[in-house]
A = this chain, B = another copy of it.
């Protein structure tokens, strides 16, 4: 933890920002072919998979959207048979949202397809370069969580 910001750090930030944003855009595009779920919908399903059943408010907080937006997204997912909404037995104001089995399968397939795309590209790298990416992945994850 250096006490002051160095020029080298600023340079890394700039390069990393561009690289991450562009690769993400590319990955998003890869997803969009032959699929009918938006990134918003997919992200919501992933969050439910990770945390299990959540209330609408919790789900909105995880996805960092306002409750009315999440109400809409959940409505779309419910229409597609990917989530269920049930009233909380102990607090009638709350609604519990959970994945259906169809959603679990769909998430698995989507992940497989996108991982395959990226793994295919990893084959063009040397093993040293793959090692660097392997080390970088958890650091990127921590950056996001701070």
Stoichiometry (number of copies): 2
A93 is an interface residue with CB less than 8 A from chain B: no
Tell me, rounded to whole Å, the shortest Cβ–Cβ distance linking A105 to chain B: 17
Q: Which of these, B22, B29, B130, B141, contacts A12 with CB under 8 Å?
A: B130
Q: Is B130 a contact partner of A22 (Cβ separation < 8 A)? A: no
Per-position contact with B for A1-26: 1 when CB-CB < 8 Å, else 0? 11001001110111111111111111
Q: Given contacts A114-B17, A137-B19, are A10 and B123 in contact (CB under 8 A)?
A: no
Q: Which of these, B12, B129, B130, B141, contacts A134 with CB under 8 Å?
A: B12
Q: Is B137 a contact partner of A22 (Cβ separation < 8 A)? A: no
How many residues belonging to A are interface residues under a CB distance threshold of 8 Å? 56
Q: Is B24 a contact partner of A20 (Cβ separation < 8 A)? A: yes
Q: Is B122 a contact partner of A13 (Cβ separation < 8 A)? A: yes
Q: Is A9 a contact partner of B139 (Cβ separation < 8 A)? A: no
Q: Is A124 a contact partner of B13 (Cβ separation < 8 A)? A: no
A111 is an interface residue with CB less than 8 A from chain B: yes
Q: Given contacts A118-B13, A133-B12, A134-B12, are A18 and B141 in contact (CB under 8 A)?
A: yes
Q: Is A144 a contact partner of B19 (Cβ separation < 8 A)? A: yes
